[in-house]
Structure 1
Amino acid sequence: MDENCSSIRADLLQRLQSLTQHAATDDTLPLPDLANQLTELANHMRLASRNAALPPAPRAATCDTAMDTGPRGAVQGAPTDAAAFPGQQPSKKQRRAPREFDFSRYRTRFVALELMYVGWSFQGFARQDNTENTIEGVLFSALRKVKLVPEAAATPISDLNYSRCGRTDRGVSALGQVVALRLRSSARVDEPEAPLELEYDYPRLVNKALPPEVRVLGWAPVPAEFNARFCAQYREYKYFIVQQRLQPSPPPPPLPPAHSEAKTASAATLQPGGDNGAISTHAVEGSGEAQGGPSAEPLPGPVPDPEPNLDPDSVSDLDPGTSCCSFLLDIDAMRAAAAHFVGEHDFRNFCKPDVATVRSFRRRILSFTINPVSTSTADKAHQVFAMTVRGTAFLWHQVRCMAAVLLMVGRGQERPEIVSKLLDVETTPRKPQYSMAPEEPLLLYACGFSSLRFRRSTPAMDGTMGDVAGLMHRHLIGAALTAACHSRLTKDDRCTEDVAAARSGVGGSAPHIPLERRQTEPSVEERMARRGLPWPPEPRQPGRGEGTGGADEEGEDDAMME
């Protein structure tokens, strides 16, 4: 065997090795393309083998010609050492320049994806122009990287029939978020639709390009008329709170008087005195609620300030140091208050009103429970509870507003009946100023659809379970670390008096002002009049889809972008 044919043999073997490595590392490589490229390579090998028996001079020319002919059926982006056209001299180091992926060669499939994400480090779910650090931002970046959707410049997202079930806010997490869109299929345009068993394992492909905090759990084929937002029959949220099991030393303050009694009651009625044992360790009021100091009586009626300055976050009902809602809570009182939410009500006093898009503030709550969470804990002095609410749809920040009021009830600052009073918009047409509960404990737990069964593969789920276990271990270690610090500090005799003072509210914390005595925001009617809009607005046509209570306004689900 002369030197020239030895070089051809080495080149053929190198091409075979490159093709094998490419097929092993690229799960998106279609089987028909792989078969075509292997067939082409086999033909080159047979041709080189036949030419080995020819005289030396013709054999060398023929072998060169064989190597000059590149694989015409090569997959785009697959590595190859052969030249692209006959007549060109090959080179061992030569590589074909990558060409743009041709999506027109493949069919598409309309699918629903089930997503899980821990949203603490993201700027919300919806994509934004000024940052890529959103759930949708990293999702579409991953879809483009694995060539399941074209680049944004070639195909706008609107052309993918994209829809989402919920629009969670900054810091909010999800376990059952659902989106729908068109993705590239494994079948070519000239082939019939691929059977589900032979379709791409979409979760496995996309998860390789996603950060560990975001995972695709499953996929399902859906009909062309499916819309993840309008076809949802319910959304279920969980809001996690911490019950402090240790009995604090100071006695609880009395429950606030009823609204009729408050008109004649003095500020002295807020002095500490025992009653039912459901007490608050901290209650900090913002300057916007108690004009002129803690003892000043707020003026009734709407706040004269313009609407943009009425951000509920400017009014603090929780100490910033207790953002995880850790108190000695009266869980039974909270359950009694939560029962008032069930049914169809006007929730304008339990949301951030968005009069520009919302047509109605009536929503239907299907269930509301408060139960302990069975989980490993590093601190026996605390118990985690989950407030689980299921409804057909939710208003902007509705869940966090409901959680905030329930926490006031649990701390003994409000009676359970305050919920029914705030739901009665005839007697309470204006929302009292109060801050929402923090966003980190909120989880979009599930989105319900009547006929949607997600497909999950064992390899994809094994990888996801490992990623979730890693995140869980990280947070368990963090909980154990902070619990050790807390235990050490509580046993330190040198800071016992300071800790007791902090628990009793001494050191700058203002007394709780009952919701019925607080300043109020403008009513919905006043907001609409300010914008020159009629109220009630003109009714819309019935919404699309099969959902029994699908969203009627864009971004109405709890936790919209701030």
Structure 2
Amino acid sequence: MSPEYQSWTKEQLIARLNELESYPQASASTKKTTSSTKITTVTSPQKKTFDFTSHPRRKIAVKFCYSGWEYNGLAFQNGPTPLPTVEEVLFNAFAKTRLVDPDKGLDGCGWERCGRTDRGVSAAGQVVSLWPSMRQPSREETRSELRYVSILNRVLPPTIRVLAWSPISSTFSARFNCQSRHYKYFFSPQELDLGLMQQAADRLVGEHDFRNLCKLDPAKQITNFNRRVLLAKISPISDHLCVFDLRGTAFLYHQVRHIMAILFLVGTGLEHPSIVSTLLNVGKETNSPSELDNSPLEIVDRKPEYQMADGLPLMLWDCAYSDSDVQWQTDIDTGESGTGSELYHQLHSIYARSSIHTALDAHFLSAAAQLHSHPPQRFPFSHTGLALSTIPVLLKSKERPVLSVPLGGGTFKRTAKYIPVLLRKRLDHVEVANERWRVGKGERREERKNVADGIPQTEYDGDE
């Protein structure tokens, strides 16, 4: 959702120029920090200081969408990042509109996100909860209720759009009150057997230990990898696009992208659908036999090495809450010129231009196809009748051809010799990796924290 200034009206362009010119110079900017979270905001020394203590606060939840490829992930980072984070931009919008005190940072307003998305990953229904100020509305704003959607979207870039908000109880948590999270992963069905992929996806439903289908991060010291999947379904959207819907109560780090990587291997025919059941069998032999040789499934208590799928096609579609917890509402729309119509028009305009780009890219491919031959189709094996052992050798070199194994988002892993997942090198056991980090980087991090807090190291016990 990048800015499309060509489609803006003259009035919109003038308003945008005025907004940019109103920003103070970098020399006049002030860095606001708290002890736990640092947020950089730009303030003008000429403006009268806003007294947040004179206004009461109320707790709300905000639903918003964002283009992940434009940001360095969702979560605010203490150090410098190549791109801004979504939370940094969104918090600054709250601060600029005097809904939160920039001096107190994220912690000062009780900021809490529903779920974290990494760099490149988008969201259509992300949610944060916080305590904004109940400042008096301006003349342009409704007197009965603040128009949070229009207030925030007025200062946010087009790549982040606030969709709705809800009043919530003081005990509500955007993270822990969430009943389920729904992810969508879009991919091309070319050279994939969707039926085999669905057979593999069916094995995900239910509660399982997903340690072999996520990224293991010892810094988080996770010991419980059990998660419940409610839905795992592959559906065609068009002849050229499919979507994998995955809904669960909670997810592990990079879990969706690891699952998609395995589904791609199944779709090509490089792995059997039973690979999912085997990777979920982490601690005991199961009575369910393998579909390959009718023997008990292998125990896989350590994760095999494999590359996860690309992050660009992944979207956090929705965060579901009880109707008694949230009642999503938008600003009062006054017709064609209302806030809701304007927001829809903006997003539809972006979609229309993206469709044009897709059509142009398709014609580039058609032009190339007139002069360059299509590479031989080897996947899926279920359609071509091939197998790893029967792929024809190259005529000139007499060697096996390089295989392009899909990773999603138009990316591939090229390999001349495919090694089955269960035969690959395996990572350390979770307990071993966690302990090595705890007595290494973990202890050093705790020592630095204690020094910063003024605690003498002779009084510090690393096990506390």
TM-score by length of 1: 0.57
The equivalent of 1:425 in structure 2 is 282
Separation in structure 1 between the aligned mates of residue 339 and residue 240 of structure 2, nearest angstrom: 33
The equivalent of 1:207 in structure 2 is 153
The equivalent of 1:454 in structure 2 is 328
For residue 69 of structure 2, give the secondary structure of its aligned residue in structure 1: helix
Residues 492-528 of structure 1, C-alpha deviations (whole Å, 9 max, x = no match): 2xx32x7449998836741321111111111212213
In the alignment, structure 1 residue 371 sits paired with structure 2 residue 215: no
- Cα distance, 1:355 vs structure 2: 3.2
For residue 168 of structure 1, give the secondary structure of its aligned residue in structure 2: coil
- Cα distance, 1:432 vs structure 2: 1.0
Distance 1:186 1:179, change over 3 A: same
The equivalent of 2:70 in structure 1 is 121
In the alignment, structure 1 residue 221 sits paired with structure 2 residue 167: yes
Question: Of residues 400, 415, 419 in structure 1, which corresponds to 2:257?
Answer: 400
Matched letter for residue 242 of structure 1? S
Matched letter for residue 359 of structure 2? A
Separation in structure 1 between the aligned mates of residue 226 and residue 327 of structure 2, nearest angstrom: 30
CA-based RMSD of the aligned residues comes to: 2.3
Distance 1:501 1:415, change over 3 A: closer
Distance 1:532 1:184, change over 3 A: closer
Distance 1:362 1:197, change over 3 A: farther
Separation in structure 1 between the aligned mates of residue 46 and residue 419 of structure 2, nearest angstrom: 70
Matched letter for residue 231 of structure 2? S
Distance 1:481 1:141, change over 3 A: same
The equivalent of 2:454 in structure 1 is none
Separation in structure 1 between the aligned mates of residue 143 and residue 265 of structure 2, nearest angstrom: 52
The equivalent of 1:133 in structure 2 is 84
- Cα distance, 1:201 vs structure 2: 0.6
Matched letter for residue 107 of structure 1? P
Question: Of residues 333, 338, 347 in structure 2, which corresponds to 1:468?
Answer: 347
- Cα distance, 1:98 vs structure 2: 3.1
Question: 1:29-178 counterparts in 2 under 5 A?
Answer: 98-129=47-78, 130-131=80-81, 133-151=84-102, 153=103, 155-178=104-127
- Cα distance, 1:532 vs structure 2: 5.5
Separation in structure 2 between the aligned mates of residue 528 and residue 120 of structure 1, nearest angstrom: 31
Matched letter for residue 435 of structure 1? Q
The equivalent of 1:184 in structure 2 is 133
The equivalent of 2:219 in structure 1 is 356
The equivalent of 1:389 in structure 2 is 246
Do 1:185 and 1:199's aligned partners in 2 also have CA atoms closer than 8 Å? no
Do 2:101 and 2:108's aligned partners in 1 also have CA atoms closer than 8 Å? no
Distance 1:466 1:417, change over 3 A: same
- Cα distance, 1:144 vs structure 2: 1.3
Question: Of residues 262, 268, 272 in structure 2, which corresponds to 1:415?
Answer: 272
Residues 5-47 of structure 1, C-alpha deviations (whole Å, 9 max, x = no match): xxxxxxxxxxxxxxxxxxxx9xxxxxxxxxxxxxxxxxxxxxx
Distance 1:428 1:215, change over 3 A: same
Distance 1:334 1:499, change over 3 A: closer
Moved over 3 A (4+): 498-509
Q: Computing the radius of gyration over CA atoms, which structure comes out larger, 1 or 2?
A: 1
Question: 1:434-449 counterparts in 2 under 5 A?
Answer: 434-449=306-321
Count matched residues.
Answer: 337
Separation in structure 1 between the aligned mates of residue 240 and residue 105 of structure 2, nearest angstrom: 47
Structure 2: segments with no counterpart, 5+ residues: 1-14, 16-44, 284-298, 380-390, 392-399, 403-413, 440-464
Separation in structure 2 between the aligned mates of residue 526 and residue 510 of structure 1, nearest angstrom: 33
Question: 1:225-236 counterparts in 2 under 5 A?
Answer: 225-236=171-182
Distance 1:99 1:438, change over 3 A: same
Separation in structure 2 between the aligned mates of residue 97 and residue 484 of structure 1, nearest angstrom: 54
- Cα distance, 1:102 vs structure 2: 2.0
Do 1:119 and 1:173's aligned partners in 2 also have CA atoms closer than 8 Å? yes
Distance 1:468 1:347, change over 3 A: same
Separation in structure 1 between the aligned mates of residue 438 and residue 46 of structure 2, nearest angstrom: 60
Matched letter for residue 453 of structure 1? Q
For residue 474 of structure 1, give the secondary structure of its aligned residue in structure 2: helix
Matched letter for residue 103 of structure 1? F
Distance 1:435 1:333, change over 3 A: same
Separation in structure 2 between the aligned mates of residue 97 and residue 468 of structure 1, nearest angstrom: 36
Question: 1:10-25 counterparts in 2 under 5 A?
Answer: none
In the alignment, structure 1 residue 506 sits paired with structure 2 residue 401: yes
Aligned residues: percent identity?
Answer: 39
Residues 160-213 of structure 1, C-alpha deviations (whole Å, 9 max, x = no match): 11111011000000011010001122459xxxxxxx981101010000111101
For residue 396 of structure 1, give the secondary structure of its aligned residue in structure 2: coil
Separation in structure 1 between the aligned mates of residue 199 and residue 376 of structure 2, nearest angstrom: 31
Distance 1:412 1:109, change over 3 A: same
The equivalent of 2:434 in structure 1 is 528
The equivalent of 1:93 in structure 2 is none
| Greater shift in the superposed pair: 385-394 or 138-147 | 138-147
Do 1:186 and 1:199's aligned partners in 2 also have CA atoms closer than 8 Å? no
Separation in structure 1 between the aligned mates of residue 375 and residue 351 of structure 2, nearest angstrom: 31
Residues 105-147 of structure 1, C-alpha deviations (whole Å, 9 max, x = no match): 3222210000111111110001123146110011011111111
Structure 1: segments with no counterpart, 5+ residues: 1-24, 26-95, 189-195, 245-327, 375-381, 534-562
The equivalent of 1:515 in structure 2 is 421
- Cα distance, 1:228 vs structure 2: 0.4
Do 1:107 and 1:187's aligned partners in 2 also have CA atoms closer than 8 Å? no
Distance 1:532 1:159, change over 3 A: closer
Residues 286-317 of structure 1, C-alpha deviations (whole Å, 9 max, x = no match): xxxxxxxxxxxxxxxxxxxxxxxxxxxxxxxx
